[in-house]
Amino acid sequence: MQRHLLIAASALALAACGQQTTTETAESQLEQPAAMQQAAMSASEFIQTVAASDAFEIQSSELATQRGSRQDVKDFAAQMVTGHRQTTQELTQLTSANNLPAPTPQLNATQQTSLDNLRNQTGQAFDDAYLDAQVAAHENAVRTFEQYAASGEAGPLRDWAQRTLPNLRQHLQHAQGLENAT
């Protein structure tokens, strides 16, 4: 009889696990449409997000070339200035040649707050804050480019997003490496 109770209890436990998995699967399926809706980004939204991202990268990195205390941070910052000026130039040429809305490099509130915070830092605290900001900014940029490369309207802008993505991933890895070196 105890054996039958043990088997019944095991069966109930397995059934409960199955229900939990079913519930979790149903919940994740309910979340997918919201994620898919979020994935749809217009060309104009992508262009303006990239313009703001590049503006932040350039301004914060110019500041880092002056205020950084570590040479590797200053070197990275100089690379970011050059790299993001290049993407800004490419984006501007691409939008002009394809009758797309021109990028307007205006920082969003989060970027402006981060830049203001950097302006109040010095020494090692500056380096730490700058690298934190670079990791966060590049994580956001990689997500934005991945999203547009996957779901943006087919054409030159999406092709450019796909070509640019590996460089952004490299920037992110470099920033993370520098951040972990402290």
Residue-level pLDDT, tens digit, the chain, 182 residues = 433 433 433 433 333 344 333 333 333 333 333 334 455 799 999 999 999 999 999 999 999 999 999 999 999 999 999 999 999 999 999 999 999 999 999 999 999 999 999 999 999 999 999 999 999 999 999 999 999 999 999 999 999 999 999 999 999 999 999 999 86
C-alpha 182/C-alpha 177 separation (Å) is 9
Residue 70 phi, psi (nearest 5)? -100, 140
Give the start-to-end residue ranges of the domains of the chain: 1-37, 40-180
> Per the structure block, which two tokens stand in for 132?
């934190």
Tell me if residue 181 falls in helix, strand or coil: coil
What number of other Cβ atoms are within 10 A of residue 175's Cβ? 23
pLDDT of residue 156: 97
pLDDT of residue 40: 78
> Per the structure block, which two tokens stand in for 44?
């104009």
What number of other Cβ atoms are within 10 A of residue 9's Cβ? 10
**Which architecture characterizes domain 40-180 according to CATH?**
Up-down Bundle (1.20)
User: Could you tell me which residues come within 8 angstroms of residue 116 by beta carbon, excluding any fewer than 6 positions away?
Assistant: none
pLDDT of residue 16: 39
Name the pTM for this structure. 0.78
pLDDT of residue 38: 53
